[in-house]
Chains A and B, each alone.
Chain A
Amino acid sequence: AQSVTQLGSHVSVSEGALVLLRCNYSSSVPPYLFWYVQYPNQGLQLLLKYTSAATLVKGINGFEAEFKKSETSFHLTKPSAHMSDAAEYFCAVSDVGPDQAGTALIFGKGTTLSVSS
C-alpha cells in the first residue's frame, strides 16, 4: 500500500529565507507524487506534480520539488519565502497503480508553514 510521511508538522522561516518541506513516500508501484497548498477556509490548490518525466519538478509561485528514488523522498523547496506563502502544505501519492483506472490520493498529515517578517 502507498503512504506518505511529512516530517515536521510546523515549519517557521523568515521572509526571504529558504523554504524546505520534507516528504517521504512508500509505494509498491512507480509513484505519482503531488504537492498541494491549502489556505485558511479554502480547498486545496495544486503546486506541482511528479509523473516520472523529470526528477526536478517546477511548480507555481516559485516552488519546486526533487524526486529522489534512492531516498524515497519528494521534498518541496522555495529559495526565498514570502509572507503570502504562509499556509498548510500537503504531500500526496496516487493510490492507484499505473494499470488501474481512476485517481485516489493518499495524503500526508500536512506541514504548516509560518513566515515572519
Chain B
Amino acid sequence: KAGVTQTPRYLIKTRGQQVTLSCSPISGHRSVSWYQQTPGQGLQFLFEYFSETQRNKGNFPGRFSGRQFSNSRSEMNVSTLELGDSALYLCASSLEKRRETQYFGPGTRLLVL
C-alpha cells in the first residue's frame, strides 16, 4: 500500500499570506490528523478529521483550519501567516477505531519570511 503523501514538500511564504497544504491518507484510512513540529515547541496536535468532520482539536488559533473531502483527502489552511508558523507540518492517517495507530507522511516544510 502506498503511504501517506503530502504536497508540497517545501514552501516559502511571506508574512500575512495564506497557505494550503494537502494530505492524501493511506487507502482505507478515514481519519486524518495534522501536527505542527517546531524546534521550540516540538510536535503539537492541530486537529483530526473523520468523515469530513473535525473530531478532535488541539490548542491553536483560528488562523489554522482544515477540511476533509469525501475521498478522505485533507487540506490544512493557515491564514495571515506569522514568522512563528515556520514549521514542519505532518499529516497522519489512521483507521476509524478509537486510539488507533497513526501513520505519518513525510511532512511539508513551511518557511515564513
- Pick from B42, B43, B98: contact of A103, CB below 8 A: B98
Nearest CB of chain B from residue A5's CB, rounded to whole Å? 12
Q: Mark B99-110, 1 if CB is under 8 A from A, else 0.
A: 111111111000
The answer to whether the Cβ of B16 comes within 8 Å of any Cβ in the partner chain is: no
The answer to whether the Cβ of A87 comes within 8 Å of any Cβ in the partner chain is: no
Nearest CB of chain B from residue A96's CB, rounded to whole Å? 6
Nearest CB of chain B from residue A74's CB, rounded to whole Å? 15
Q: A100–B90 contact, CB under 8 A?
A: no
Interface range on chain A (Cβ under 8 Å from partner): 20 to 34
Q: A34–B56 contact, CB under 8 A?
A: no
Interface on chain A toward B: helix, strand, loop, or mixed SS? loop
> With A96-B56, A98-B98, A102-B56 in contact, do A43 and B31 touch (Cβ < 8 Å)?
no
Q: B90–A44 contact, CB under 8 A?
A: yes
The answer to whether the Cβ of A104 comes within 8 Å of any Cβ in the partner chain is: yes
CB within 8 Å of A: which of B82-106? 90, 92, 94, 98-106
Q: A104–B45 contact, CB under 8 A?
A: yes
The answer to whether the Cβ of B4 comes within 8 Å of any Cβ in the partner chain is: yes
Residues of A that sit less than 8 Å from B by CB? 32, 34, 36, 41-46, 49, 51, 90, 92, 94-96, 98-110
